[in-house]
Amino acid sequence: MRAILDIPTPQNPRQLREFLGTAGFCRLWIPGFAEMAAPLYPLTRPGVAFKWEEPQKKAFTDIKKALLESPALGLPDLAKPFELFIDEKEGYAKGVLTQKLGPWRRPTAYLSKKLDPVASGWPPCLRMIAAIALLVKDSHKLTLGQPLTIHAPHAVEAVIRQPPDRWLTNARMTHYQTMLLDKDRVHFGPLVTLNPATLLPLPGEPEAHDCLQVLAEAHGARSDLTDQPLPSPDHIWFTDGSSFLHQGERRAGAAVTTENQVVWAQALPPGTSAQRAELIALTQALKLAEGKRLTVYTDSRYAFATAHIHGEIYRRRGLLTSEGKDIKNKEEILALLRALHLPAALSIIHCPGHQKGDSFEARGNRRADLAAREAALTTDTTNLLALEPTNDHPFPSWDYEQRDIQTLEKLGAAKEPNGDWTYEGKTVIPYRVTKYLVTFLHKMTHLSSKKMRELLEREEEFNFLLGKNDILKQVTEQCDACARVNASRLKLPPGNRVRGYRPGTHWEIDFTEIKPGKYGYKYLLIFVDTFSGWVEAFPTKHETAKIVTKKLLEEIFPRYGMPQLIYRPSN
């Protein structure tokens, strides 16, 4: 103890690494070691100023204190199977490895690990898979091949067996499946919202949900975006961006075309990369097709993947790379994500570039490539094709009722020339449409009003849902299914105990758990006569209906006759 108490405060990164290395030997026996030491790790990196401030002082003191404490840990018994309770919070995987000791589970190790930056940007269900894989690998040094049952608050086994078509690479998914679908050694237990890894749930934690459904909802920036041609589209366009050296200067251009005509083409600033030009071309096509049904072809894998996959990942991760740095072409990606919602229906299709065939896709791609190269050699926007004539005052997108207009006038919202209302730069969705949206969302998820509000706020980047808060409260309070499932919220008057009018007519029956005896008796079956208070008790090895029936037929009925009522107080 004295040696630990006398550990001096680190004065430089080397001394701090020595301390973390010493404490790391005991990390298995320290709950939440990774989170506790998180403020110290940045100071060990090269090039980072060594500033010993209050968070570092607290972390250093907490670790020294934890090294002196004696958690209730048992030594692993390799003759018994293991159970691993896992939870993940804020990018940290936490677990408790336990073994059965009589009716209790005794911890044998605490595990903690920080997820890598890539996994930290995934949806919660996939972060849980990464956390399980990390901690299962760490637990191998203790379990030594013994059977391991995993308990987690997510249905991860279903996700692992039917992985999503995005977020995870094939190599990573294969690694997880190989490790976690080993049926001879790894098993998944029932879902547990409360487990030793979480200790107690924090207020407002997510309610139980369907992991596959959550992943389906989080798969992209626009749910109806497809990579298959739309039926009866208003426009079929091709986009391309070009960047090349011309007389020692890098010239760039972008274009949107049909199969044989130029819709839009523009020269871009010198030095613009081909990837940026592709993003600009695709974004411009989406803006020109606002309110229309658009099928657009691009030969850029970068632009295609940004629209379908990476753009949504960047948005949820915070527009950062896997290394935590700002992504390239940040402004163009944000513009593309905003423009994705402009067309009424949208299909973005990838086609091979520089094709020599005579197919429709090849001709359109060649025309877009030629237009982009020609635009790069000019200085202005050229060859703007006149689209379908539009009315100066088009019909409004939404039908607002009189009460909507009165509310919007009180809020100070603005009315646009086309009849739409905007508030804080967002298009206002009418009350009846908001109510339909919230009702449908609650019907599909049965989330609480707080969780649905958080879900809707993430999608309110362009729209303002009128009356959202009142509708959320009304829909959740009037849901019959939620009222039945969440019956614990109801305040019922105390019940009355049924009492017989003579001995042997009314019996209360229940099991209670006792300390295991020499011959395996773990339960006590108790019968109480409600008239006289007479008690009959029988030790049993199992807590089953078969045992109850046997005792009734062999002990109660022959001695006291046929009763009128038998019931359990809990039922």
Where along the chain do the CATH 1.10.340.70 domains lie? 402-487
222 neighbors 203 (Cβ within 8 angstroms): no
CATH 3.40.50.300 fits 2-68, yes or no: no
Comparing CA positions, the residue from 165, 166, 222 lying closest to residue 345 is 222
HEC assignment per residue over 407-434: HHHHHCCEECCCCCEEECCEEEECHHHH
Identify the residue whose tokens are 């896992």: 86
State the CATH class of domain 506-567.
Answer: alpha beta
HSE on the CB side for 167, CA within 13 Å? Answer: 25
Sequence-ordered alpha helix ranges (H) in 446-477: 449-458, 468-477
Kind and range of the H or E element at 64? helix 54-68
- Please tell me the distance from the alpha carbon of residue 349 to that of residue 357, in angstroms, as a whole number: 18
What's the pTM value of the predicted model, to 2 decimals? 0.38
Residue type, 226: T
Where along the chain do the CATH 3.30.70.270 domains lie? 2-68
293 neighbors 233 (Cβ within 8 angstroms): yes
CATH number of 235-376: 3.30.420.10
Where along the chain do the CATH 3.30.420.10 domains lie? 235-376, 506-567
Q: What is the pLDDT along the chain (571 residues), one digit of tens a residue?
A: 344 556 778 888 888 887 887 676 456 556 667 788 888 888 888 888 888 888 888 888 888 777 656 453 567 778 788 888 888 887 888 887 888 766 656 667 777 788 888 788 778 888 888 898 999 988 888 888 888 998 887 777 777 777 665 567 777 888 888 888 877 788 888 766 545 545 433 334 444 455 545 555 555 566 778 888 899 899 999 999 988 888 778 889 999 999 888 899 988 888 888 888 999 999 999 999 999 999 999 988 888 887 876 666 666 555 555 555 667 777 888 888 888 889 999 999 988 887 777 888 888 888 888 888 888 887 554 444 434 434 444 444 678 888 888 888 888 888 888 788 888 878 888 888 888 888 888 887 788 888 888 878 766 667 888 888 889 888 888 888 777 776 555 555 566 677 888 888 899 999 998 887 777 888 999 999 999 999 999 999 888 989 999 999 999 998 888 898 888 876 5
Neighbours of 375 (CB within 10 A): 29
CATH number of 402-487: 1.10.340.70
Residue 352 has what DSSP assignment? -
Which CATH number is correct for 82-217, 3.10.20.370, 3.30.565.10, 3.40.30.10, 3.40.109.10?
Answer: 3.10.20.370
